[in-house]
Amino acid sequence: MASAAFAVSPTASSPAGEVQILPFDAPLGAEVIGLDLSQPVDTATFKRIHQAHLDHHVLVFRDVSITPAQQVDFSRRFGPLQIHVLRKFQLAGTPEVLVVSNIKENGEPIGLGDAGHYWHSDLSYKDKPSLGSLLHAQELPKEGGDTLFANQHLAFETLPDELRRAIDGRLAEHSYLAKYEELRARSPWRPALTQAQIDEVVPVQHPIVRTHPETGRRALFVSEHFTTGVVGLPKDESDALLAELFALSTRDSLVYRHQWQANDMVFWDNRSVMHLAAGTPDHERRKLYRTTIEGDVPF
């Protein structure tokens, strides 16, 4: 599936001082070039970025040289930030930043190395799932490390009519623990959770089809990583329905494959896309910093 997804070639830099937003030739996504995020973004430019995020769902900021604190400050302009339950991988001194990395130091992982192993929308297992996430490249592998994004507005809009009727008005349960032990069994990056951490991630129910609170567009809101069942259906029917939705929601025709460049920062809308880490070879080093913006209760 992933091999045929749209990938985008690097774009030439814009003239100094000129901010450009250039849509990709893909089902979603645009790059932002010429914006210096180390400086405060003026109101007019911020409104352009906000609208572009709504229009394109994934923004790729090129050649971003900022500190973690500046990433936090820019992220906060979109809303309050959420702290990941795995506090072990917070960036020292900046708890709003989750370190996403396969690197080990003194035999211990410095970040969450298997983040994005399954298709998902960040923090869909919370009462208020994420509005969006920003991921800033710190160290990139020479091979691998791509991230795939799937447009869930298009996923919903292209569903067969019979399937749309089957999910109309239905809720699904989301749980952080859905695949946690499965990942932990084969991963050095998943520590045993304390009871306090488990209490932070009590399963929640959300509409299978959610309405974007800013645009009014409808999107599928289920994922293979966190969605455990359709409320009110027997398990066999629920499993069959979800399997069909998972397959249809990540078709190649819906996917943009991001091939990271040095200093990229990618900002995606968790209300309208899912994403997947394509994987990094064990011998390659990868480190990125993630901030996550709190969203609204889905409806």
**Catalytic residue set:** 120, 122, 275, 290
Burial 212-228 (b: 16+ CB within 10 A, else e): beeeebbbbbbbbbbbb
CATH label, 82-294, candidates 3.30.1280.10, 3.60.130.10, 3.30.930.10, 3.60.21.10: 3.60.130.10
Q: Quote the DSSP letter at residue 120.
A: B
Contacts of 191 (CB under 8 A, 6+ apart): 86, 88, 184
What pLDDT sits at residue 5?
A: 62
What pLDDT sits at residue 231?
A: 98
pLDDT in tens, 213-262: 999 999 999 999 999 999 999 999 999 999 999 999 999 999 999 999 99
pTM of the model: 0.92
What pLDDT sits at residue 17?
A: 60
- SS3 category, 8: coil
Q: What is the pLDDT along the chain (299 residues), one digit of tens a residue?
A: 333 465 554 444 434 468 999 999 999 999 999 999 999 999 999 999 999 999 999 999 999 999 999 999 999 999 999 999 988 899 999 999 999 999 999 888 999 988 889 999 999 999 999 999 999 999 999 999 999 999 999 999 999 999 999 999 999 999 999 998 888 888 777 888 999 999 999 999 999 999 999 999 999 999 999 999 999 999 999 999 999 999 999 999 999 999 999 999 999 999 999 999 999 998 999 999 999 999 999 99
CA torsion, points 21, 74, 147, 24, in degrees to nearest 10?
-10
What pLDDT sits at residue 90?
A: 94
Q: CA-CA distance, 39 to 19, in Å (whole number)?
A: 13
What pLDDT sits at residue 15?
A: 41
Q: CA-CA distance, 146 to 38, in Å (whole number)?
A: 25
What does the domain layout of the chain look like in residue ranges?
82-294
- Which two structure tokens, joined as six digits, stand for 14? 């814009």
What pLDDT sits at residue 43?
A: 95
